[in-house]
Structure 1
Amino acid sequence: MLKAFGMSLSGNCYKVKLALTQLELPFEWHEVDLRHGEHKQPAFLRMNPNGQIPVLQIDEQTFLPESNAILYYLAHGTDLMPQGKLEQAQVMQWMFFEQYCHEPNIAVARFIVKLAGRPASREQELQKCIVGGYKALDVMEQHLGKNVFFVSNRYSIADIALYAYTHKAEDGGISLDNYPAIRAWLQRVASQDRHIAM
């Protein structure tokens, strides 16, 4: 049985849990206590020397970190990954966008506001993240204004990757009021079979 190690409040970990659930793959969830440094302990570092969550344990000796790499592994050969070469590359395009342009802004803003309590010492960083978050949302809104989902108008791991933190953007002070296409897409994602809440 697959084992997933992560923190339930993390969008990156939620991606993995959502994909596992929607693919109906049996798995065990192991909550990692970041506040007490469990991710820095030798047992965890043997799974991921980078000390980050999530991690998927595939067998006794095989561990796969990085949320989008896990999504790719889980989705290969399933309905969550298109079959065409170009479409697969487009899935990866949006997943790279998520990790490079989207997550570093929207996820970090959420962390500063919701989890760290918006300390004054991080206000300048927060404002920079909010600006970057809106820039990423602008790109998504333009695409979703003409597309039902991110690739080939069908639900895929590209949508899972971008949904995780987008649907929690307001936790970081990033409003979705001016993004009707994104809001409609969020509802479409939430209506997928076996969807689970974060």
Structure 2
Amino acid sequence: MYTVYGDYNSGNCYKIKLMLNLLGIEYRWVAVDILNGETQTPEFLAKNPNGKIPVLELEDGTCLWESNAILNFLADGSAYLPSEPRLRTQVLQWQFFEQYSHEPCIAVARFIQFYLGLPEERLAEYHAMQKAGYRALAVMEQQLKRTPFLVGETFSIADIALYAYTHVAYQGGFDLSPYPAIQQWLGRVAEQPGYIGMLD
């Protein structure tokens, strides 16, 4: 059985939880408290020397880390990861976008507001993240006006990667009302067979 080391409130960890549930794969969840330094212990660093969650531990003890890499591992051979090279590359394109243009803004703003309670010393950073986050949302909106999912007609791990933090973006102060295509897409993702919520 797989073991997931993670935090239920983390979008990156939620990606893995959602993927496992969509695939109907049983797993064990080990809660890790990032605010109490549990990702920096020698025991955890032996699993991920980068000291971050999530970590997926396989039955043989191998540990995989980086949420989108884990998604690709889990989805390999399934309908959630296209085999056709162009479509597979478009999935990767959105995953790279998520990690470079989306997550560093929307997830960081959420961390400052939801986890830390908007401390005065991080307000300037928070406001900078708002501007960049709305720019990322606008990119998603343009694609989702054209296609029901990020890679055409089919739900994929590209959608999982971007759904994780977009659906809780309000916890980072983001207003999704100007993005009707994103709002409709959020509903389509939540209707997928095997869907599970972040805190379910």
Which TM class, normalised by the smaller chain length? over 0.9
Give the deviation of 1:37 after TM superposition.
1.4
- Residue 53 of structure 1: SS of its match in structure 2? coil
- Residue 40 of structure 1: SS of its match in structure 2? coil
Counterpart position of 1:149? 149
Distance in 1, matches of 2:32 and 2:115, equals 16
> Deviation string for 1:63-121 (max 9, x for gaps)?
00000000000000001111201100000000000000000000000111111000111
- Residue 184 of structure 1: SS of its match in structure 2? helix
Q: How does 1:182-193 map to 2 (within 5 A)?
A: 182-193=182-193
Counterpart position of 1:103? 103
- Residue 148 of structure 2: SS of its match in structure 1? coil
Counterpart position of 1:43? 43
Is 1:122 paired with 2:122? yes
Distance in 2, matches of 1:35 and 1:162, equals 24
Runs of at least 5 residues in structure 2 that lack an aligned partner in the other structure = none
- Residue 149 of structure 1: SS of its match in structure 2? coil
Distance in 1, matches of 2:60 and 2:42, equals 16
Give the deviation of 1:61 after TM superposition.
3.1
Distance in 1, matches of 2:118 and 2:36, equals 21
Q: Which residue identity does 1:84 align to in structure 2?
A: E
Counterpart position of 2:65? 65
Distance in 1, matches of 2:110 and 2:40, equals 23
Please give the TM-score of this superposition, normalised by the length of structure 1. Answer: 0.98
Q: Which residue identity does 1:180 align to in structure 2?
A: P
Distance in 2, matches of 1:51 and 1:133, equals 25
> Deviation string for 1:45-65 (max 9, x for gaps)?
110011100000013331000
Distance in 1, matches of 2:36 and 2:113, equals 20
Work out the percentage of aligned pairs sharing the same amino acid: 52
Distance in 1, matches of 2:82 and 2:108, equals 30
- Residue 39 of structure 1: SS of its match in structure 2? coil
More displaced 10-residue stretch of structure 1: 143-152 or 55-64: 55-64
Q: Which residue identity does 1:185 align to in structure 2?
A: W
Runs of at least 5 residues in structure 1 that lack an aligned partner in the other structure = none
Distance in 2, matches of 1:104 and 1:38, equals 22
Q: Which residue identity does 2:183 align to in structure 1?
A: R
Q: Which residue identity does 2:70 align to in structure 1?
A: I
Distance in 1, matches of 2:91 and 2:62, equals 25
Q: Which residue identity does 2:113 align to in structure 1?
A: V
- Residue 59 of structure 1: SS of its match in structure 2? coil
Q: Which residue identity does 2:189 align to in structure 1?
A: V
Distance in 2, matches of 1:48 and 1:60, equals 16
Q: Which residue identity does 2:62 align to in structure 1?
A: T
Q: Which residue identity does 2:127 align to in structure 1?
A: Q
Q: How does 1:1-198 map to 2 (within 5 A)?
A: 1-198=1-198
Q: CA RMSD in A?
A: 0.8
Give the deviation of 1:197 after TM superposition.
0.8
